[in-house]
Amino acid sequence: MSRDVSILACPKCGGAPLVAAEESLACAGCDSRFPIEDGIPDLLVGERFHDESGCDVWENEEKTGRFLATSYLAPLIERLFGDRDPVSLRVLSIGCGVGSDVEVLGSRGYEAYGADAGGRPQLWRRRSFPERFYFANAKHLPFRSETFDFVFLCCVIPHIGVVGDTYETTPDHAAQRQAAWDEALRVLKRGGHILLSAPNKRCPLDLFHRKFHWVHLPRVHSPWETFLLSVDEYREQLVVRGGCRDFEVLPLEGYWGFFISSGYWFGRLLQAPIRLLFKLMSWESTRWLRGTFLNPWLVVRAQKS
């Protein structure tokens, strides 16, 4: 298994190259060493994300990641980059979870990488490209600046600066999230595209973060809570602060596979109007609705100037 260390940079000192050493990666600048455990480099700086674990959770993530990469991400990348050969494009999934999205994109020819700070590294070893996964924090990415053509964060930003795996934010959540924003844009090439997604702050029904796992009704929340983000906040970070251009709210059709809710009758009943709403907002004539309170899930994209 050959790992390309030429794209790596020390996540501790922020920029010095990493070189391969025995059972580790070493920083040429600050002399920090990062262990390689069963083939996966541990480049984590900062806290670990204590997310859910278990076979049922992993199985759903597996299906969801494959569906997302196949039906949404790959077609979008093809549209954004026109006639470019997939092998010429380097993409990064920040918060890649079990890594099935990275595997699908890699199988299509893209040089796809994944980074995650949760409890999923043991699953990466079974992937087709295990050498492209890194245990790392979104606020301290172990990659050199302007490395990737396409960077995506699917429901990652809201889970930064929170208490555990909850929707209660910490007093410094804004600063923590700013670090993640800065890192994502730092590793993105000029002219490259960034995609982010999460539930819509302005929609009072959060369909994707239930208070208890056995409760299948949406979480009702205030549109002013600090856990989620609105279109205006995404635009502020990407365009005003990040200097990006061509900002847009993307359609939702093809994003979700609805695998969990399809397993029981009440879930299928609930998903029917949601599927209809997603289809409605995919029309060009109704695209202005995507940023309103009527849209439960946001997918935004921008291009780095």
Which structure tokens are listed for 51? 């997310």
Q: Which amino acid is at 68?
A: L
Which structure tokens are listed for 273? 């109007």
For residues 49 and 88, give the distance between their C-alpha atoms in angstroms, rounded to a whole number.
Answer: 32
Q: What is the pLDDT of residue 39?
A: 86
Q: Which amino acid is at 59?
A: E
5 to 15, 16, 103: CA distances (angstroms): 13, 12, 19
DSSP secondary structure code for residue 130 in this structure: G
Q: What is the pLDDT of residue 54?
A: 58
Residues, the chain: 305
The class (CATH top level) of 40-304 is alpha beta
Tell me the domain boundaries of the chain: 40-304
Map tokens 């959060």 to a residue: 206
The helix/strand/coil state of 299 is strand
pLDDT along the chain (305 residues), means of 10: 86 88 88 89 84 68 93 97 94 95 97 90 88 95 97 95 88 95 97 97 87 69 93 97 96 84 71 86 91 94 97
Q: What is the pLDDT of residue 48?
A: 79
Q: What is the pLDDT of residue 204?
A: 93
Helix residue spans in the chain (DSSP H): 55-68, 74-81, 100-107, 121-124, 173-186, 231-235, 265-280
Q: What is the pLDDT of residue 216?
A: 66
Q: Which residues contact 35 (CB under 8 A, 6 or more apart)?
A: 23, 24, 41, 42
For residues 276 and 257, give the distance between their C-alpha atoms in angstroms, rounded to a whole number.
Answer: 14
Q: Which amino acid is at 215?
A: V
3 to 38, 69, 101, 123, 128: CA distances (angstroms): 13, 23, 19, 18, 13
Q: What is the pLDDT of residue 1?
A: 60
Backbone φ and ψ for 242, nearest 5 degrees, come out as: -90, -10
For residues 303 and 48, give the distance between their C-alpha atoms in angstroms, rounded to a whole number.
Answer: 29
Residue closest to 92 by CA, chosen among 79, 77, 70, 81: 77
Question: How many CB atoms are located within 10 Å of the residue 118 CB?
Answer: 18
Map tokens 């780095």 to a residue: 304
Helix residue spans in 128-259 (DSSP H): 173-186, 231-235
Longest dimension (CA), the chain: 58
Q: What is the pLDDT of residue 101?
A: 96
Q: What is the pLDDT of residue 270?
A: 77
Q: What is the pLDDT of residue 212?
A: 60
Q: What is the pLDDT of residue 51?
A: 66
